[in-house]
Amino acid sequence: MSEQEPTFDPLAPYPAAAAAAAALNAQDWPSFRSQFVGLDWISRMMAMRGVQPSAEQEQFLAGLVERDPDDVLPPTVFAWVLIDAGWKIRSSYRAQHVSQDQFRQFHDHLRRAERLLVDVVARDPGMVLAWELRLRTARGLELGQSEARRRYDQLSRQHPHHVLAQQQYLQQVCPKWSGTWEKMHGFGRECLTNAPEGALSPVIVADAVIEHWFGLSGDEANTYVRSPAVQAELREAAGRSVFHPNFQRTPGWVVAVSTFACAFSLADLRPEAASCFRALGPYAHEWGWQYLNGGAEKAFGRHRALAMKESA
């Protein structure tokens, strides 16, 4: 395997989604739309995530919404830009470290987005992107577990194994967002059990393990993640997903393989981690790794070097 520095650009492995995002960042709506309709739902979400929030972009999208009020795509993309900007204002810090002014601006952005999205799903209940975004607004506006689950269920009826939406809902059932460890791991098992063999969804088990590890401290965290039960759970999930013969590099595969690499590294399962690092090649994703000392890129490089050395 090459020891070159991996790219953490989430669109690098998916040129079609990257091209659509570039068109929208250039405010070339006809080009964006023509490319967007040819993408699957996961790639559409990735393309939309590649849009850079700015006052100019908000103004451009607001104009599109006003000019064609019957089109559900402009308000959906506009809602994403508002949500992304809002979460950036809030920051990733825990609530006690976020100022009242940050919360005020954050909630204002989410409420504006929610109003757009309510109208979108009223006109097009099958708009998967809008339901995924409403998981984000439900969490940020603290609308509660029942409402978040209603939104997730509505989305899953349209797209039952939408791994990006599953990652969003997992955050909702974490203790830090008023959930519990039991609910969080239960949802991971639900995704594992319901997914076809070789699908991406079993990675939610690894997501849950990483979140639980991060929620503990010191020796307690390492004892948990390296326990035989957790190691067996991770092996089972990977065996049903990224290590399964039916696994394919469909959109979203990098975040799944990179997340398993992180979980296996934490669990001290170096051979399994090395298999994931080899599969990733020049790609990586920051999810999970951002919790480790030194930040995502340094932590990824450190654990990749260790896994490859021990498995040589």
Give residue 104's pLDDT: 85
Give residue 1's pLDDT: 40
Taking only the tens place, the pLDDT of each residue in 16-43 is: 999 999 999 999 999 999 999 999 999 9
Structure tokens at 67: 């000019």
Under the banding of pLDDT at 50, 70 and 90, the label for residue 92 is low
Give the bridge partners for 283, in sequence order.
7
Under the banding of pLDDT at 50, 70 and 90, the label for residue 218 is confident
Mean pLDDT of 255-279: 98
Question: Is the pTM above the cut of 0.75?
Answer: yes
Under the banding of pLDDT at 50, 70 and 90, the label for residue 235 is very high
Structure tokens at 263: 């979980």
Helix (H, G, I), strand (E, B) or coil at 284: coil
Under the banding of pLDDT at 50, 70 and 90, the label for residue 219 is very high
Is residue 239 scored above 70 in pLDDT? yes
Under the banding of pLDDT at 50, 70 and 90, the label for residue 3 is low
Is residue 2 scored above 80 in pLDDT? no
Contact yes or no for 277/289 (Cβ under 8 A): no
Is residue 51 scored above 80 in pLDDT? yes
Q: Report the share of the chain in percent with pLDDT over 70.
A: 96
Contact yes or no for 209/230 (Cβ under 8 A): yes
For each of the domains in the chain, give its residue range(s) and CATH number, in order of start. 52-159 (1.25.40), 163-312 (no CATH)
